[in-house]
Structure 1
């Protein structure tokens, strides 16, 4: 949960930084020593920031990025091993994608460096997204022996086609900003180091337009029952994720990665 308030009345968090800049809420994943890997605390911070921003009349647009030239290395794998409580992790994963699905205001994502697992999946929930040209994406769920999350099991195939989605999910290979842009996962690939500036420029452009109109357009652009559909997909994913996580093979794979294996 949020730690406290600063002198400007803004919420202070443990794993993210948060600021409001002339109507733009900037949310930055801030665990650079671990490539901004997302642990349970990070989920709590992100969920609170997303929900608070959506409910705050001062905020018109949200920008989500990562600290020090990295978006995120994905889930902190130490959360997937005993003595961590997988039930708590599952709640947080469900919570963040529920927040994404419910968000009524435009969300712009700015990515650099790496976007692994959930970091890549977040593109499926962004309205607009930019990434530096050298970013590396991966959906490595099969490599560590778990399932996809974030409703990726249904949304990715719809976004880029089932054959391409299967190839990315089954192999867990790295893919590039050029590929992500070609497939429509990114609005644009930009020069390295320019993703956040580009996102902020776009956010400022959105501020010039009718906010009621933008939110109505966003609502109309979502399929009927979108929020319930995302929540149902995530619930099923997390059930299967938990079942696989308990197997000796998956535990061995995760330990191998944590020890520096590939």
Structure 2
């Protein structure tokens, strides 16, 4: 049985599901490689306009597979080149929604933070507990978490390994929405469907400019935004969207 699954539940929407329930979806090397392959393929598929990433109804991902790491040395870890696998998710041009039920711990929390939106169930919990086993986050936990919640909340989580609830995560800026546990998947698919109905070029430009502008000066980021804004006026979708607005009809976006 594959450790990750890909489904196409709705037009324009792909669902990527972690499938290691016996290990609480722990992220071993095989899972990372499969995720990278899926996101590379889906990112290049013009029929896919939004991706939902989930671990299922009870757990998102309980972190890295400790059994796979306990006896590893530094060179072993270096040669894995896992940053290239994570980059396939981080650099995916399509919007990614993490649907989080249950634990999102360690690498699982980092995986969720690679998404563009996080829909969390009320029973979800987030943590970076690596310090408790003698290491630290290695897939962006110290950097993405700080950018999401700020220095002081990030330090609290990183230095103690404590978990935060879904409601705490929402208040801190680590989640987009919190819904009842039974509604997480449905809400993520509803959001994905809404995004998939938007003009794909505009959606891709919004994601690219927002992420690129985070680490740029305000002046440089505004320049990126302005250029992307101007570029979209050469798209057929811009003409369709504005004409549909004036005609008081629903637009149909072709992604061109």
CA 220–66 in structure 1, closer or farther in 2 if over 3 Å, else same: same
Q: Deviations over 1:62-97 (max 9, x none)?
A: 100013421011111111123799736863531232
Equivalent residue number for residue 89 of structure 2? 100
Distance 1:25 1:84 in 2: 37
**In angstroms, what is the RMSD of aligned CA positions?**
2.1
Query: Which of residues 68, 71, 84 is equivalent to 1:82?
Result: 71
Partner of 2:253: none
Please state whether the residue corresponding to 2:212 is helix, strand or coil.
coil
Q: Is the 8 A contact 2:128 2:141 kept in 1?
A: no
TM-score, reference length from structure 2: 0.78
Alpha-carbon offset, residue 102 of structure 1: 1.4
Match of 1:149 among 133, 138, 154: 138
Q: What does residue 239 of structure 1 align with? A: none
**What's the TM-score, normalizing by structure 1?**
0.76
Q: Secondary structure at the match of 1:219?
A: helix
Indicate conservation of the 8 Å contact 2:119/2:175, yes or no.
Answer: yes
SS at 1:20 equivalent: strand
Counterpart-to-counterpart distance in 2, 1:151 and 1:123: 11
In the alignment, the residues of structure 2 paired with residue 150 and residue 59 of structure 1 have an alpha-carbon distance, to the nearest angstrom, of 26
| Stretches of structure 1 lacking an aligned partner (at least 5 in a row) | 1-12, 227-262
Secondary structure class of the residue paired with 1:121: helix
Between the aligned partners of 1:112 and 1:57, the Cα distance in structure 2 is: 29
Separation in 1 of the partners of 2:71 and 2:111? 27
Please give the per-residue CA displacement for 1:4-39, whole angstroms capped at 9, x wherever unaligned.
Answer: xxxxxxxxx720111123221110000001111111
Native 8 Å contact 2:32 2:86 kept in 1: no
Tell me the residue number matched to 1:202. 191
Q: Which runs of 5+ in 2 are unaligned?
A: 216-256
Q: Distance in 2 between matches of 1:203 and 1:87?
A: 38
